[in-house]
């Protein structure tokens, strides 16, 4: 079943519904394949830019693969477990059966164009979800029908909340033993604190799950399980009638709470038509007041066509999303960027990929205006001109060339040399900067030593490409030890990077054990002084600065203020001192870890007519900072992780005992039947290799999920042990 002849979608409430668009013509064109990605303007209100988001293994990629098949985009069903999923195209993804990098694609359903980004569920790749949610208009949140709302689903839900992304839920895996639709709904209510609008009920459960009841049309749909068999429409089975009436009633009540139009029809005792229903649900969903819920089994080809209808019906088009706010580069005033082809061009770069065949690709979400191949644009974040070489529509790792991209579209551009993730592109004459995307800091690192000189060169090049691609991946070269240290979000993240270095970039290197990325901060305000004075025979060196150091709140990063009174030091010496201070911040405080949450104020200094140089002031800055940190009661910060363990009750005692011995704190324990969910916080240093020990403790029957929570002070005893260990190593 590809593009179907099914009911028209009621895109009630969408812009231009009342028909600037010739639906039939468009549908026919799409069927023939004549409207491909071509450069023509696709009606804005018929575009859906959506992300598929969820906990690891919920079935996001499988849902996406089914969407591609049912929309006729692919002609073979892609399977994650067989390594044939189109969206999981990277070698690492196919080997491991997980998504690592978000992949974009475009397909058409009835007369809707759907731009999809399939995101990874593993928390180590959270940056991929963050950047996707930043540029998408709507989300499909997928749940495993057995596990319900898992830890990472909650995390992505909160991320979507932050970006105000309207979403719909798909309760997947209804065919699995233990699948429980009602339990999933109550978890959506309790854990996500969301208001569910149940629009479907499953017919049968587990291996007898065979279809879905649509509570709006009050019709049943049976799916044979074969992707090519059309769904069979049936009356609601007699034994389900009472349950359906009850749910429908709840739906009307739930909707009335948020929608006056439905409430009025209901209070007047009139029948609510399907289009009234759809229009009201769309209004409520777009306003993020309640969440439409659907169900099915992607793997068994059940329910996905109805989900596709729902994407058209209940998720926003770019025109429904409020205009994005940017800042005028010159005046500093707010600027609204309307989703319109006629407005000045504004786009956000949200992803950079080094493609081995086509080179450097920059993914763009175009918010306003259009852009043509060859156009000159302005990177307002870096204040430089850029030229767009070619424009592409991506389909996972393949692409199709276009010569123009419009407002509301998601495309990849070639030829941009100096544009990075989070940068804004706009017109030179109408400069605007959009808010950049915020990414978490890496918490774990590993040392890499290339085997030969040739490997060192290859390593440098590979790491540069990878840091461009992944904003949560950082590289530090330690001058003193000659070691390259890479940092990331977790063990899996670094493991994937190391595997890619070896298999994709053919670097041979010695890789150390993963280590915690500690940081340092100060706890009191102090003054520091740096004097760099050298008197040798001829020309000497003279640089002298006085600074003040103050602790900032957690997350405050590093701030620098110049309070030098006129003429005491020249601008170039001040800049050189700042540079020296910044380098010292990165190179580390008393224990050699980067210093965070500190403000440095440069307030005084002196220079020598002959001997002073920028170099001398850079040294003086660095010395002043080191002097200050030593006096400011520095402490070591360690990453604290949020850990969630789901286990059969019999292992609860052992798991809790183990967590306590790892300096963990239990926050709460939830019980669902015999399944216990333990929520706790544990320092990262104490949970290396946790997967292995949990597996052996529970015979592989417990699962866990861990994500970075925050940095916290390390206990003094452990901090001093760490310092003496470091002293011993150097
Ligand atoms: N029984 C059953 N298994 C499913 C269903 N959907 C997906 N799976 C299986 O669940 C596993 C994970 O599916 P994926 O589609 O890779 O899940 P994902 O959410 O993309 O996972 P990540 O991208 O790694 O977070 C695969 O083995 C799928 O075959 C379903 O409806 N029923
Ligand atoms: Mg996946």
Whole-Å CA distances, 86 to 76, 362, 448:
10, 21, 32
Taking residues 686-705, report their average pLDDT: 87
Q: Indicate the pTM of the whole model.
A: 0.84
> By alpha-carbon position, which residue is closest to atom 5 of ligand 1?
299
DSSP 3-state assignment of 261?
helix
Written as six digits, the tokens of 415 are 């030829």
Ligand 1 centroid distance, CA of 417 (Å):
37
Distance CA 129, CA 155 (A): 10
Q: Report the pLDDT value the prediction gives residue 729, as an integer from 0 to 100.
A: 64
Ligand 1 centroid distance, CA of 722 (Å):
42
Percent of the chain as helix, strand, coil, to the nearest 5: 30, 30, 40
Cβ(102) – ligand 1 distance below 6 Å: no
Q: Which of 58, 59, 97 to mutate to test the pocket of ligand 1 (most atoms within 8 A of CB)?
A: 59
Distance CA 524, CA 347 (A): 43
Written as six digits, the tokens of 98 are 């997980």
Distance CA 50, CA 64 (A): 11
Please name the residue that has the structure tokens 């081995």: 356
For residue 98, the ligand 1 atom closest to its alpha carbon is 24
Proximal ligand: closest to the CA of 63: 1
Q: Which of 52, 54, 56, 57 to mutate to test the pocket of ligand 1 (most atoms within 8 A of CB)?
A: 57
> By alpha-carbon position, which residue is closest to atom 23 of ligand 1?
99
> By alpha-carbon position, which residue is closest to atom 30 of ligand 1?
173
On the CB side of 525, how many CA atoms lie within 13 Å of its CA?
A: 7
Ligand 1 centroid distance, CA of 234 (Å):
29
Q: Report the pLDDT value the prediction gives residue 351, as an integer from 0 to 100.
A: 94
Over residues 69-79, the pLDDT tens digits come to 999 888 888 88
Q: Report the pLDDT value the prediction gives residue 16, as an integer from 0 to 100.
A: 37
Ligand 1 centroid distance, CA of 171 (Å):
12
Cβ(98) – ligand 1 distance below 6 Å: yes
Over residues 352-396, the pLDDT tens digits come to 998 878 889 999 999 999 999 999 999 999 999 999 999 999 898
| Residue partners of 653: CB distance under 8 A and separation at least 6 | none
Cβ(296) – ligand 1 distance below 6 Å: no
> By alpha-carbon position, which residue is closest to atom 7 of ligand 1?
59
For the chain, how big is the Rg over CA atoms in Å? 28
Ligand 1 centroid distance, CA of 298 (Å):
8
H or E stretch including 575? helix 571-587
> By alpha-carbon position, which residue is closest to atom 12 of ligand 1?
57
H or E stretch including 391? strand 390-395
Over residues 199-245, the pLDDT tens digits come to 999 999 999 999 999 999 999 999 999 989 989 999 999 999 999 99
Ligand 2 centroid distance, CA of 138 (Å):
18
> By alpha-carbon position, which residue is closest to atom 27 of ligand 1?
81
Over residues 252-271, the pLDDT tens digits come to 999 999 999 999 998 988 88
Cβ(176) – ligand 1 distance below 6 Å: yes
Q: Report the pLDDT value the prediction gives residue 144, as an integer from 0 to 100.
A: 96
Proximal ligand: closest to the CA of 78: 1
Taking residues 445-449, report their average pLDDT: 90
Cβ(175) – ligand 1 distance below 6 Å: yes
Distance CA 226, CA 206 (A): 17
**Of the candidates 323, 283, 336, 236, which has an alpha carbon nearest to the alpha carbon of residue 17?**
283
Q: Report the pLDDT value the prediction gives residue 73, as an integer from 0 to 100.
A: 86
Query: Does the pLDDT at position 15 exceed 80?
Result: no
Taking residues 336-356, report their average pLDDT: 91
Written as six digits, the tokens of 560 are 């620098």
DSSP 3-state assignment of 241?
helix
Ligand 2 centroid distance, CA of 39 (Å):
30
Taking residues 593-613, report their average pLDDT: 91
Cβ(453) – ligand 1 distance below 6 Å: no
Cβ(114) – ligand 1 distance below 6 Å: no
**Band of residue 611 on the pLDDT scale cut at 50, 70, 90:** confident
Cβ(101) – ligand 1 distance below 6 Å: no
| Residue partners of 287: CB distance under 8 A and separation at least 6 | 166, 258
Query: Phi, psi (5° rounding) for residue 96?
Result: -95, -15
Task: Give CA torsion, residues 188, 190, 196, 198, to 10 deg.
Answer: 70
Q: Which of 299, 304, 307 to mutate to test the pocket of ligand 1 (most atoms within 8 A of CB)?
A: 299
**Of the candidates 12, 35, 8, 49, which has an alpha carbon nearest to the alpha carbon of residue 410?**
49
DSSP 522-573: --S-EEEEEEEEE--SSS-EEEEEEEEEEE--TT--EEEEE---TTSS-HHH
Query: Does the pLDDT at position 38 exceed 80?
Result: no
Over residues 706-728, the pLDDT tens digits come to 888 989 999 988 888 888 877 77
DSSP 3-state assignment of 216?
coil
Proximal ligand: closest to the CA of 62: 1
Cβ(299) – ligand 1 distance below 6 Å: yes
Mean pLDDT score of the chain: 88
Written as six digits, the tokens of 226 are 């074969």
């Amino acid at each position: 079943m590809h593009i179907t002849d099914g009911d028209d979608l009621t895109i009630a409430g969408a812009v231009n519904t009342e028909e600037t668009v010739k639906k039939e013509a468009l549908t026919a064109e799409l069927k023939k394949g004549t409207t491909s990605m071509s450069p023509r303007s696709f009606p804005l209100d018929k575009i859906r830019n959506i992300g598929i988001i969820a906990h690891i293994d919920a079935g996001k990629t499988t849902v996406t693969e089914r969407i591609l098949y049912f929309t006729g985009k692919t002609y073979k069903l892609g399977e994650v477990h067989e390594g044939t999923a189109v969206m999981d195209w990277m070698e690492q993804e196919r080997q491991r059966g997980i998504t690592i990098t978000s992949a974009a694609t475009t397909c058409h359903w009835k007369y809707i164009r759907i731009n999809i980004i399939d995101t990874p569920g593993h928390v180590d790749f959270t940056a991929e979800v963050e950047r996707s949610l930043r540029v998408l208009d709507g989300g499909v949140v997928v749940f495993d029908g057995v596990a319900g709302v898992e830890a990472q689903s909650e995390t992505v839900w909160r991320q979507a909340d932050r970006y105000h992304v309207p979403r719909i839920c798909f309760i997947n895996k209804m065919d699995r033993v233990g699948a429980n639709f009602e339990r999933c709904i109550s978890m959506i209510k309790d854990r996500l604190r969301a208001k569910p609008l149940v629009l479907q009920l499953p017919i049968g459960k587990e291996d007898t799950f065979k279809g879905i009841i649509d509570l709006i049309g009050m019709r049943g749909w049976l799916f044979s399980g074969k992707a090519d068999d059309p769904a069979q429409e049936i009356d609601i089975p007699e034994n389900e009638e009472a349950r359906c009436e009850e749910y429908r009633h709840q739906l009307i009540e739930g909707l009335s709470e948020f929608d006056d139009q439905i409430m009025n029809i209901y209070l007047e005792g009139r029948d609510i038509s399907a289009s009234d229903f759809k229009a009201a649900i769309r209004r409520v969903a777009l306003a993020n007041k309640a969440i439409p819920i659907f169900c099915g089994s992607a793997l068994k080809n059940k329910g996905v066509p109805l989900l596709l209808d729902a994407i058209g019906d209940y998720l926003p088009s770019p025109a429904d999303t409020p205009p994005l706010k940017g800042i005028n580069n010159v005046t500093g005033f707010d600027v609204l960027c309307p989703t319109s082809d006629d407005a000045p061009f504004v786009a956000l770069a949200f992803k950079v990929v080094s493609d081995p065949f086509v080179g450097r690709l920059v993914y763009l979400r175009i918010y306003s205006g259009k852009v043509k191949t060859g156009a000159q644009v302005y990177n307002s974040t870096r204040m430089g001109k850029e030229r767009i070489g070619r424009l592409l529509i991506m389909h996972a790792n393949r692409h199709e060339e276009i010569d123009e991209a419009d407002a509301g579209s998601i495309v990849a551009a070639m030829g941009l040399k100096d544009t990075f993730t989070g940068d804004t592109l706009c017109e030179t004459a109408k400069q605007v900067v959009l808010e950049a995307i915020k990414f978490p800091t890496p918490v774990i690192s590993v040392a890499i030593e290339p085997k030969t000189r040739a490997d060192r060169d290859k390593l440098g090049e590979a790491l540069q490409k990878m840091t461009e691609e992944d904003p949560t991946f950082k590289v530090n070269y330690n001058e003193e030890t000659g070691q390259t240290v890479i940092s990331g979000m977790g063990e899996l993240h670094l493991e994937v990077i190391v595997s890619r270095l070896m298999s994709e970039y053919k670097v041979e290197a010695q890789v150390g054990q993963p280590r915690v990325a500690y940081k340092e901060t100060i706890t009191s305000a102090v003054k520091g002084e740096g004097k760099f004075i050298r008197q040798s025979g001829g020309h000497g060196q003279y640089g002298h600065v006085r600074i003040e150091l103050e602790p900032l709140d957690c997350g405050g990063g590093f701030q620098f203020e110049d309070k030098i009174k006129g003429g005491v030091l020249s601008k170039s010496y001040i800049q050189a001192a700042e540079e020296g201070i910044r380098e010292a911040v990165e190179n580390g405080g008393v224990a050699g870890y980067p210093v965070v949450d500190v403000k440095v104020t440069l307030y005084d200094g002196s220079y020598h007519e002959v001997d002073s140089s920028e170099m001398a002031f850079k040294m003086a800055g660095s010395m002043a900072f080191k002097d200050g940190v030593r006096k400011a009661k520095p402490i070591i910060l360690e990453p604290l992780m949020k850990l969630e363990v789901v286990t059969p009750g019999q292992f609860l005692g052992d798991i809790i005992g183990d967590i306590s011995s790892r300096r963990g704190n239990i926050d709460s324990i939830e019980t669902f039947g015999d399944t216990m969910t333990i929520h706790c916080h544990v320092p990262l240093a104490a949970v290396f290799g946790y997967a292995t020990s949990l597996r052996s403790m529970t015979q592989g029957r417990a699962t866990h999920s861990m994500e970075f929570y925050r940095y916290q002070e390390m206990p003094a005893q452990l901090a001093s042990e760490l310092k003496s260990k470091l002293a011993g190593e150097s």
